[in-house]
């Protein structure tokens, strides 16, 4: 993941409601092993959602990556000199239902078109989003922008020297 990409995990709203009866403000994440891990697959598992209706909608937003499209994963990628957006959907091997779904939006993109398109898709499909801190957001740009402004990606783009200096202090 590039430092200028902002990560959001896609979660089905009805799957989280089925499990918790309400939308929490935050979901526990684990980074102790150096990787970002969450249990969001539980919410997809509640619904046993097939990807067949989502894939064509994603194809309208972003091009398929040339390394993907096997039985259990689909990836999309748009890379240009100043823009690097991507998304992936992973499926359970036996049931072929969604296991994990995330995207990374390049904050350098003019008007954040990809992010806004994903937010629109989120509204249409009743998804919610989770950032790398486990915070939950409705598919509403104004809510997500607050998370963006607190992200490493934004802080790096805003002031790279300050960001790197603060890394030395950690």
Q: How confident is the model at residue 8, as a pLDDT?
A: 96
Q: Rounded CA gap, 55 and 61, in Å? A: 10
* Domains recognised in the chain with CATH numbers: 5-169 (3.30.310)
- Please name which of 138, 98, 100, 131 lies closest in space to residue 13, comparing C-alpha atoms: 138
Q: How confident is the model at residue 150, as a pLDDT?
A: 86
- Over residues 74-105, the pLDDT tens digits come to 999 998 888 999 999 999 999 999 999 999 99
pTM (2 d.p.): 0.88
Kindly give the interhelix angle for 113-125 and 54-61, rounded to the nearest 10 degrees.
160
Q: For tokens 């935050």, what's the residue?
A: 26
Per the DSSP assignment, residues forming a β-bridge with 10 are 129
Q: How confident is the model at residue 92, as a pLDDT?
A: 93
Question: Percent of the chain, pLDDT > 90?
Answer: 62
- Over residues 27-73, the pLDDT tens digits come to 988 777 776 678 888 899 989 999 999 999 999 999 999 776 688 99
Question: Percent of the chain, pLDDT > 70?
Answer: 90
Q: Rounded CA gap, 25 and 138, in Å? A: 10
């Amino acid at each position: 993941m590039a430092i200028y990409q902002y990560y959001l995990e896609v979660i089905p709203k009805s799957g989280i409601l089925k499990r918790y009866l309400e939308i929490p403000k935050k979901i526990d994440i684990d980074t102790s092993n150096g990787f970002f891990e969450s249990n969001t697959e539980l919410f997809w598992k509640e619904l046993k959602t097939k990807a067949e209706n989502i894939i064509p909608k994603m194809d309208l937003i972003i091009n398929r990556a040339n390394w993907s499209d096997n039985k259990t994963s689909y990836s999309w990628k748009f890379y240009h000199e100043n823009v690097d957006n991507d998304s992936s959907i992973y499926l359970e091997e036996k049931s072929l239902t969604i296991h994990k779904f995330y995207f990374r939006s390049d904050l350098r993109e003019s008007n954040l078109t990809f992010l806004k398109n994903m937010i629109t898709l989120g509204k249409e499909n009743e998804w919610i989003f989770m950032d790398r801190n486990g915070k939950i957001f409705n598919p509403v740009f104004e809510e997500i922008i607050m998370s963006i402004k607190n992200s490493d990606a934004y802080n790096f783009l805003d002031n790279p020297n300050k960001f790197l200096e603060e890394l030395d202090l950690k």
